[in-house]
């Protein structure tokens, strides 16, 4: 019994880097144990060593933002002032310890989708995290002719993480040549002036999204969709995607689109 409990206990990892973007957003990197395997797009439990007042550590689900081939693990997080975990997590520094769960899971993986021509990833806020992993995975470009990542946020500063990442991909030794001409990054804002304004749901409803992407409207033969954001964003976006005739898939039953809620709190 003890042995089983021990083997499921999180591992203690070292913080390798921390970068803050806005007063609500930051990213961090931790060491990756050799035994830790995951598929690009999956999430894992992350926590901090328990304080004297805590009976056990507080752990929360986080999408791994780094690709499955990387020797480090990257996470992209919101900061919530009174959030049980993020109030403390936002203060981590290089060299600190972070707890890492052992069982990565999730549906935002290439295997949960049927083969197709075009992969769309619709994200809002920190919902871009799993897609930061998927767009760095060579398999994504082997499976699809076109890869389109959309990211909608309230304000410009919240787009920085995704923009820097996408810009850096051209020089990436592994996927640099694959992303060239194949990966499109469409960004929109809802609460500040910006060339493209509006929620992803609005862009889908008006067809503005397809104009921006230079594609025909979604269709179940060619298009595959991954959705990640708040619960409301997922429900509303999913309902719209279904109106184009796409059906929801899972690991056990791959289909045309998949959804997952991004971490909050």
Using CB under 6 A, list all residues that contact ligand A2P: 124-125, 152-154, 190-191, 199-201, 229-230, 232-233, 236
Specify the 3-state DSSP secondary structure of 110. helix
Nearest-angstrom CA–CA distance, 24 and 59: 19
- List phi, psi (to 5°) of 73: -115, 135
Which of residues 156 and 255 has its CB atom nearest to ligand A2P in the complex?
A: 156
Sheet holding 183-189, edge to edge: 183-189, 146-153, 118-124, 223-229, 257-261
Token reading at 50: 């328990």
Neighbours of 91 (CB within 10 A): 11
Tell me the C-alpha distance between 221 and 55, whole Å.
Answer: 51
The distance of closest approach from Cβ of residue 124 to ligand A2P in the complex, given in angstroms and rounded to an integer, is 3
Q: Which is nearer to ligand A2P, 85 or 233 (CB)?
A: 233
Nearer to ligand A2P, 135 or 241 (CB): 241
- Residue 137: Cβ-neighbour burial (10 angstroms; 0-12, 13-18, 19+): buried
Min separation Cβ 238 and ligand A2P, Å: 10
Task: Write down the least CB distance from residue 134 to ligand A2P, Å.
Answer: 19
Least distance between ligand A2P and beta carbon 219 (Å): 22
Residue closer to ligand A2P, measured from CB, 30 or 200: 200
Q: Say how many Å lie between the first and final Cα of the chain, rounded.
A: 33
Report the residue count for the chain: 265
Shorter beta-carbon distance to ligand A2P: residue 73 or 233: 233
Least gap, CB of 186 to ligand A2P (angstroms): 13
Q: What does the block give as tokens for 104?
A: 């990565």
């Amino acid at each position: 019994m003890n042995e089983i409990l021990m083997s499921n206990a999180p591992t203690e990892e070292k913080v390798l880097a921390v970068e803050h973007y806005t007063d609500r957003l930051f990213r961090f990197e931790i060491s990756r144990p050799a035994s830790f395997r995951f598929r690009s797009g999956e999430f894992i439990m992350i926590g901090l060593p328990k304080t004297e007042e805590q009976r056990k550590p507080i752990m929360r689900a986080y999408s791994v933002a780094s690709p499955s081939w990387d020797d480090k693990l990257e996470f992209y997080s919101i900061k919530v002032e009174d959030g049980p975990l993020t109030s403390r997590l936002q203060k981590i520094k290089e060299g600190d310890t972070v707890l890492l769960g052992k069982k990565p899971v999730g549906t935002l993986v290439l295997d949960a989708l049927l083969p197709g021509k075009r992969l769309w990833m619709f994200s809002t806020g920190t919902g871009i995290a799993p897609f930061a992993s998927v767009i760095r995975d060579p398999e994504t470009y082997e499976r699809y002719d076109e890869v389109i990542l959309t990211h909608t946020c309230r304000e410009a500063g919240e787009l920085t993480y995704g923009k820097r990442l996408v810009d850096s991909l051209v020089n990436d030794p592994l996927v640099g040549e694959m992303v060239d001409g194949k990966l499109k990054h469409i960004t929109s804002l809802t609460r500040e002036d910006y060339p493209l304004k509006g929620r992803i749901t609005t862009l889908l409803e008006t067809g503005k999204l397809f104009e921006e992407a230079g594609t025909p409207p979604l269709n179940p033969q060619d298009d595959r969709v991954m959705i990640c954001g708040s619960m409301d964003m997922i429900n509303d976006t999913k309902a719209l995607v279904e109106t184009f005739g796409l059906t929801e898939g899972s690991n056990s039953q791959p289909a045309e689109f998949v959804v997952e809620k991004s971490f909050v709190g």
